Amino acid sequence: MPAKLKSVGKWFGLLGLAGVSSVIMVAMAAYLYLAPLLPSAETYRDVQLETPLRIYTSDGRLIDEIGNRRNPINYEEIPQILTDALIATEDVRFYSHPGVDLQSLIRGFYGFVSGNRLGGGSTMNMQLAKYHSFDGDNVYLRKLKEIPFALQVERELTKEEILTLYLNTVYFGSGADGIGAAAFVYYGKDVSELTLAESAMMVSVLPCPSACNPLADPDRAVVRRETRLRNMLQQGMIDETQFEEANRAPVTASRRNRNIAVPAPYVAEMVRQTLYDEFGEDTYEKGFEVTTSIDGDLQLAANDAVVNGLEIYYDKRHGYRGPNANYPADPNDPEARWLAELAPIPSYGNQQPAIVTNVSGRSFTALLKSGERILVPWDGMDWAYAFRSRNEAWPPPQTASDAVQIGDFIRVKQGPQHWELGQVPDIQGALVSMAPSNGQILALVGGYDFRWNQVNRVLTPRPPGSNFKPFVYGAALEHGYSASSVINDAPFTRGDYRPNNYENNFLGPITLRHALKESRNVPTVRLYDELGSDKVLPFAAKFGFQTDSFPYSDLTVALGSQDVQPLEMVTAYSVIANGGYKIDPWFIEEIRSEADGVLYRSTPSMVCEDCNSLDDESGDRYYPAPQVIDPRVAYIMNSMLRSVVVEGSGNRVQREIGRGDLMGKTGTTNGPQELWFSGFNRDIATTVFVGFDQPEPLGEREQGATVAVPIWIDFMDQALDGKPEITMNRPDGIVDRLIDKATGELATPGDPNSIFEYFREELAPEPLDTQLPILEVDEEEGEEISTETIF
């Protein structure tokens, strides 16, 4: 060989040696730099049991399960078919490589550079890195760290330990961390009992556990299972007969966690936040079980009342706002394109996503995301007047094409007789129901759909409007007025403030009962002015209102201008219902953990004559609720609010439910921007709120009576079904007088405009000589003296 060629060869050899040396030195330097950053084996060797937070109704039905489940297993529990399915798919040279598979890395890098998908380069050791470290790193730095981590794992653990760690660590979808939890969640069995088909199915979900699992997409899961089985066949791990048998196996997976019986997501979030404030991240892992105060049946009724009520009583009445979008048909495969558009779109409330596929004269067909085609007849769309403004919906549709076109992305709902055109309401609302005897929250709905918007409107302060008026009138009763006291409904001015009545008229002198019954604004402001804020606001504070923030010089407080929570409002009305006892709302009955048993049990204050007699053998104590107002004042307030329901602004309640034990008050603010109704009997108080999250006028025709009242009726009609009528017991020191209901003056028997009115005994007018003896009501018989008295 010529000397020149030898010299060139020598230089190439030296360069190659230098290159290899450089690579080794860089690799060593990188390892020395990264080694201190790697987690020690103690941090990942032992995988701990994780049990999610589970939240129940008071009668033991599941509301929600928050967090993932992990049931660690031992290597001996892993069936060989599961090991084979995993290795054949994720890491075929698992038993031969030292933690990093150079061949796979080179293949993966070449595929990345060339744009061809040739498979990933990560071994199971390397995949463990993303589960046990480097969560905050960017993707490139994490990949760089995976290699030394994989080598460390290989050095510190046996192959069997690595395989067990991997299967205990990876996420399998549906809230299952690790194969132990996954076997239970999907199949209800131990890992050792998994069949070949089930093992291949479990391995098939690993690259995309949320989207690829057999619950989320069974058809896709079957295709992916076949790929894993074929990998096993190619590696000689199974024979053709086993392959065919497993490939034909039906999908038997079914959810065995988060089988929610009573959806109450706003309650679940309140519970989650309460526990997180106390226990931090342990909230989701330590197996806490929370029993709430929620009555399952009442919660289901509340869910229906709010969702249906917002749709029917408000949204449909204001017209159809049109489709969300339009997707022209793909001439080659229109259904495939439409299904792809529908796939990521969730349902909200009653409203399912759909795309219009055909429009006839007075009907149309639509495609659901499930692939089902439905028919919407004319009766399901004739409501769809074109929305113009909150005050106008016009014109009405004459044909189906006036409302929808082919390709329109719309919402539909399943009605009692047929499918209907729908839309997700842009209005929001809330309902909260409470037991006046002890503050137990029985049902709570914080909005139309928690997935649509997570704001809990039960806890969001808004102006209550006339819903606050009873506490002005109650303050008057406490300070010497009676329900028959007269207040002037006439023009009233203080500075620049001049209140007006909703009807834009004045009635002159009227009784307090009449003023509250008809929700007259001007008499209420005049009464507030006569009493003074120094009397009204301390009285209101006794019911739980945070009046410290109320302006003392603002007369609009009388008309409910200051923000309060619906939860505050239902608590206040509960005090009226229970005879004047202050109770506090509560929603957690008991907290338990798997390790420590009972951690907390509620001990609410109660309305009871002898609370000591209720103490039970478990040691639970019952604490008496404090009496904050004279029970006679509470009784007369009950009576006045009964008049509202019988013949005042809430008379729809009496017409539709027809019970003799219901009282309540509507509320409507300026605009109107907020609509309220709070009502009760002795056993249950419920407040309904309706309004936009960003306050804006709801439409000039709207009042508390048009939307909030019918929602309240729909709920309470179910809540009271089969229950006996029950009202506050008449306290000592109440007497009756026959009065003229227009003037409030004493009347004589036979006067055509007379009613019996309630008075505190020391404030009652002396009866006329010609008046009959004072009438006492037989409460056991429930006989009514007048349609305008409470009992």
For the annotated catalytic residues, the residue numbers are 90, 466
Rounded to an integer, what distance in angstroms lies between the CA atom of residue 416 and that of residue 311? 15
Rounded to an integer, what distance in angstroms lies between the CA atom of residue 100 and that of residue 145? 12
Q: What is the CA radius of gyration of the chain?
A: 35
Residue 224 CA to chain centroid, in angstroms? 35
Contact 63, 110 (CB under 8 A): no
Q: In a 3-state reduction of DSSP, which class is residue 92?
A: coil
Query: What separation, in Å, do the N-terminal and C-terminal C-alpha atoms of the chain show?
Result: 123
Residue type, 64: D
Contact 709, 652 (CB under 8 A): yes
Per-position DSSP letters for 310-370, written without gaps between them: IIIIIIGGG-B---SEE-PPPSS-HHHHHHHHHTTPPPBTTBEEEEEEEE-SS-EEEEETT
CA distances 654 to 367, 647, 658, 706, Å, are 43, 8, 5, 15
Per-position DSSP letters for 524-582, written without gaps between them: HHHHHHHH-HHHHHHHHHTTT--GGGS-TT-GGGGGT-S-B-HHHHHHHHHHHHTTSB-
Quickly tell me which residue has 């409501």 as its tokens.
Answer: 383
**Residue ranges in 346-497 assigned as alpha helix (H):** 469-478
Contact 584, 286 (CB under 8 A): no
Residue type, 565: Q
Quickly tell me which residue has 């009493």 as its tokens.
Answer: 531
Rounded to an integer, what distance in angstroms lies between the CA atom of residue 694 and that of residue 697? 10
Strand ranges in 426-485 using DSSP code E only, listed in sequence order: 428-434, 441-445
CA atoms within 13 A on the CB side of 624: 10
Contact 414, 360 (CB under 8 A): no
Q: Which of 80, 675, 721 is nearest to 427 (CA)?
A: 675
Rounded to an integer, what distance in angstroms lies between the CA atom of residue 690 and that of residue 306? 9
CA distances 632 to 75, 92, 199, 215, 778, Å, are 73, 83, 71, 60, 18
Rounded to an integer, what distance in angstroms lies between the CA atom of residue 557 and that of residue 472? 9
Q: Are strands 325-326 and 408-414 parallel, antiparallel or unpaired?
A: antiparallel
Angle at 311 between CA 659 and CA 641, to 5 degrees: 30
Rounded to an integer, what distance in angstroms lies between the CA atom of residue 239 and that of residue 237? 7
Q: In a 3-state reduction of DSSP, which class is residue 410?
A: strand
Q: What is the DSSP letter of 763?
A: G
Angle at 565 between CA 560 and CA 571, to 5 degrees: 95
